[in-house]
Structure 1
Amino acid sequence: MPLHMLKLCVGAESISDLDEWVEEQMALMRRLGRPEEQTHTTRMVPKRVDEIVGEGSLYWVIKGQISARQRLTEIRPFTDADGIGRCHLVLEPVIVPVEPRPCRPFQGWRYLADKDKPRDIDGRSGDLGAMPEELRRELAALGLL
């Protein structure tokens, strides 16, 4: 069973903000002639890499709610110029909205068991998929989703 990670999406106000950031990063990679991959740098290296990579996703907390996910394809540990160990989380550059769920602030990242993950919002989600993100966010905050 895959394991997932949960991380705050600092600075994003919405899923569309995150999507725009990913698009900007992909455009920059194209301009620089580099492989188009999205990475997110984090200070600590997850200890459960084998359970995450391949089938796991990084779930983003936006404005106090788990809102979207990206599949984690690789985790690359490295040492920065100051000699501090860090890692690149390599993400599939596709943002998948999920059913919003409240989440308290935390530092770093947390593991999320597969059984505890929110469901994707897709074509099978009925009216929820067609609903604007802000309305989903408000209904989830009221406990109605």
Structure 2
Amino acid sequence: MSPSALNLIKLVVGVSSVEELAARQKDPHNTRPHPDHKVRLPVVHTRTFPRQSEEILKGGSLYRVISGLIQCRQTVLDLQTETRADGTQGTLILLSPEIIRVEPRAMRPFQGWRYLKGSDAPLDLSGSGLSELPPLLQKELTLLGL
């Protein structure tokens, strides 16, 4: 992920772990085909279309808040508009199937999604000893500021 990339951040509702998120994203109802990819891509439904979509599509990610912590990210591959069953407009955020764990960071609840500058985003955990700890212990250490 580029430090200059523009990202999105969104809460994951009804999920308590990254593993549970990964399992949910394998459900066919939570994926969509895409002409540029051979596999079905995980998708997130949201109401509003990002005005800065071009910047996001230049390597940005969707950071996910799970149980009060930013815990992971997925690269945003496409943004599409959709017409919902009730006739209202919505947005689909198509993601890379790869879930990348990041340094946990506490985050208060908010509605919808927010922009997240690359310079403000948590670092990836790859190769960090913290990535080997159980998620509950990671959360407790983060909340203690350790």
The two structures have a TM-score, normalised by structure 1, of 0.88
1:134 equivalent to 2:136? Answer: yes
Counterparts of 1:45-124 in structure 2 under 5 Å?
Answer: 45-123=49-127
| Distance in structure 2 (CA, Å) of the matches to 1:40 and 1:100 | 21
Shift of 1:28: 7.7
Shift of 1:37: 1.4
Does the 8 Å CA contact 1:26/1:37 hold for their aligned counterparts?
A: no
> What's the counterpart of residue 9 of structure 1?
12
Instruction: Kindly report the root-mean-square deviation, in angstroms, between the aligned alpha carbons of the 2 structures.
Output: 2.1
Q: Which moved more, 1:46-55 or 1:34-43?
A: 34-43
Does the 8 Å CA contact 2:61/2:75 hold for their aligned counterparts?
A: yes
Aligned length: 139
Shift of 1:27: 9.9
- Identity among equivalent positions (%) equals 40
**Structure 1, residues 88-138: CA drift from partner, whole Å, max 9, x if none?**
000001111110000010000000000000001112x2x212111111111
**Judging changes above 3 Å, is the alpha-carbon distance between structure 1 residues 118 and 92 closer, same or farther for their aligned structure 2 residues?**
same
**Structure 1, residues 2-29: CA drift from partner, whole Å, max 9, x if none?**
1000000001101111111123349987
Unmatched segments (≥5 aa) in structure 2: none
Match of 1:44 among 44, 48, 71: 48
Greater share of helix residues, 1 or 2? 1
Does the 8 Å CA contact 2:26/2:42 hold for their aligned counterparts?
A: no
**Judging changes above 3 Å, is the alpha-carbon distance between structure 1 residues 98 and 26 closer, same or farther for their aligned structure 2 residues?**
farther
Does the 8 Å CA contact 2:73/2:102 hold for their aligned counterparts?
A: yes
Unmatched segments (≥5 aa) in structure 1: none
**Structure 1, residues 1-59: CA drift from partner, whole Å, max 9, x if none?**
210000000011011111111233499879xxx95111111111111100101400000
The two structures have a TM-score, normalised by structure 2, of 0.87
